[in-house]
Amino acid sequence: MNFSLGFSPCPNDCFIFDALVHHKIDTQGIDFTVVMEDVEALNNRAFARELDITKLSYHAFLYLTAHYALLNSGSALGFNCGPLLVKDAKTQIGDINQATIAIPGKYTTANFLLSLAFPQATRREETLFSDIEKRVLSHEVDAGLLIHENRFTYEQKGLEKIIDLGEFWESLIHAPIPLGGIVVKRSIEPELQKTIGELIRKSVEYAFANPESCMDYVRRHAQEMDEVVMKKHIALYVNSFSIDLGETGRQAVELLFQKAVEHKLIEGLAPSVFVD
């Protein structure tokens, strides 16, 4: 039995899925064909229903609950881990609503949070997340929305923070911020959905118990990232919520959906967004 599995080359995803895709745990006869792409590319694949199981921005998931259900394991969700809106330290921005902002994708949760904080800031340009810093530094755009490892290095490159949208969310909601989750096609038999969720949980638990075991896989896909940054990245985005959302994690996801309804991004939800 084989399923397509999409996740990003970022350290947190490689950390989570290494044991699963390399059979360091018993996968119960299930194999996975990995599709490794930037999260916005994975979002677009999900809209086309191309993948059986995939990492998905929670923003994109708002529109896909009829086709995918959320697994309890594998999520990137927590405190103090939100996207950062930054500018060149030498640039003055009088009105952020008039600024041109590079975003890492229309359906990223980062863009959703930007819409909550600055709904009138509509001059947005979709940009590969790893290219946002250089577009800000070259003044092609006035500001950029950083995700992933760039939050650890932007100050060294001469950028400064305008706002931490994670802090904005936490002050607004008083709950952890749901960034990305792992979803499974609803067309897959329910008991099999649960089995897949359990395998991902075991993969995360294996990684926590054997943190060096996955580092070759992480390094292979982290391009030229410094190892200290890789480990900071993993520590920031992989936590107890990645093992199991639990009641607090589920409530945070539901709060995000409620905000989307309040802001008229969506009109209704599937009866349950979770794999139960």
At residue 8, φ and ψ (nearest 5 deg) are: -85, 165
At residue 161, φ and ψ (nearest 5 deg) are: -80, 135
Catalytic residue among 22, 139, 148, 263: 148
Alpha-carbon distance of 263 to 271, in angstroms, equals: 20
For 42-60, the pLDDT digits (tens) are 999 999 999 999 999 999 9
Alpha-carbon distance of 137 to 55, in angstroms, equals: 30
pLDDT of amino acid 267: 74
Closest CA to 237 of 148, 110, 129: 148
CATH number for region 84-173: 3.40.190.10
CATH number for region 2-78+176-262: 3.40.190.10
At residue 235, φ and ψ (nearest 5 deg) are: -65, -30
For 192-208, the pLDDT digits (tens) are 999 999 999 999 999 99
pTM above 0.85, yes or no: yes
The reply to whether 148 belongs to the active site is yes
Parse the chain into domains and list their residue ranges.
Answer: 2-78+176-262, 84-173
Query: CA-CA distances (angstroms) from residue 9 to 12, 37, 149, 154?
Result: 8, 7, 12, 20
Q: What share of the chain is helix, strand, coil (3-state, %, to 5)?
A: 45, 20, 35
